[in-house]
Every structure is written in structure tokens, then in C-alpha cells.
Structure 1
């Protein structure tokens, strides 16, 4: 909301890397969602944006987070490659 997309992208990428290193998936869906959002705001590569939103959606499904699944599909369905 502060339009600091590059700073947010950097922090989000660090969060993804640390989560993967620690093998802790609690926030991975959120991090991928945020990364997709930041890339979208920065007019990033469409395939990267699709990959991030699809990964976020997949993780929300896997961790049984229906509220997050629904929100993502309501706002960013066009970026999800295989919605259920």
C-alpha cells in the first residue's frame, strides 16, 4: 500500500529462501502471493507472476486455507494456471 514494491519484493524473496532453507511452509503461500503481487505491480514477466500466484494457490489448497484460496481466486484468478 506504500508503493514500495522493489523493497517488498526483496524482503519477500528473502522470506521464501529462508522458509525453504528451514523447511518451514507456514508462510510460503503468503510469500508467493506477495511476490506475485509485487511483480504484477512492477509489470514483471507474466509467466513469473502466473507461477507465483499458482504456487500460492497450490499451497493454500495443500494447507487447507479456504479463505486465502477464495481471496486469491476472487482477485487474481486470471493468473492461476490450474484452479480447482
Structure 2
């Protein structure tokens, strides 16, 4: 089973987090400016834009960063039928 999520895209709203609460950006949209850092940024740690692929050691979790947003693909083990 695959679980696919998208975060940090310009039309998405910023979720509550302590850094977002400090700069009062919770609930705002990320926007199209890739140099605008709101809270912890689109990718955490203050990143305003980022390109690359991150893979977990088990190869079950992939994060593809595409500059102004990211896509996460998580492969979950199939649950037994019962």
C-alpha cells in the first residue's frame, strides 16, 4: 500500500508549529515566492526552497523536494486479512 502526501506547495496553508506561532504565519498560504521563509520554512529548518530526493534506510519512505513543495511516498506493509 502506498501513502502519498504533498506539503509546502504555494496554495497550502501553514500548519500550527511553535516557529509558525512565533512569526504569526499559522493559517497563511506558503505563496509563490521561494525566498520567503515563514516559520520553519517549506521544508523545515528554515529552508525556503530545496531540490533533491531523500530515502529512508529501509527504502520505504521517499521524499522528493521540488523547489517550492515536496511529495512524500510511504510504502506501508499490507495488513493481514482477518
TM category, shorter:
under 0.3
* Greater Cα radius of gyration, structure 1 or 2: 2
Greater per-residue strand proportion: 2
Q: Greater relative contact order (Cα 8 A, min sep 6): structure 1 or 2?
A: 2
Q: What TM-score do the two structures reach when normalised by structure 1?
A: 0.23
Q: Greater helix percent: which structure? A: 1
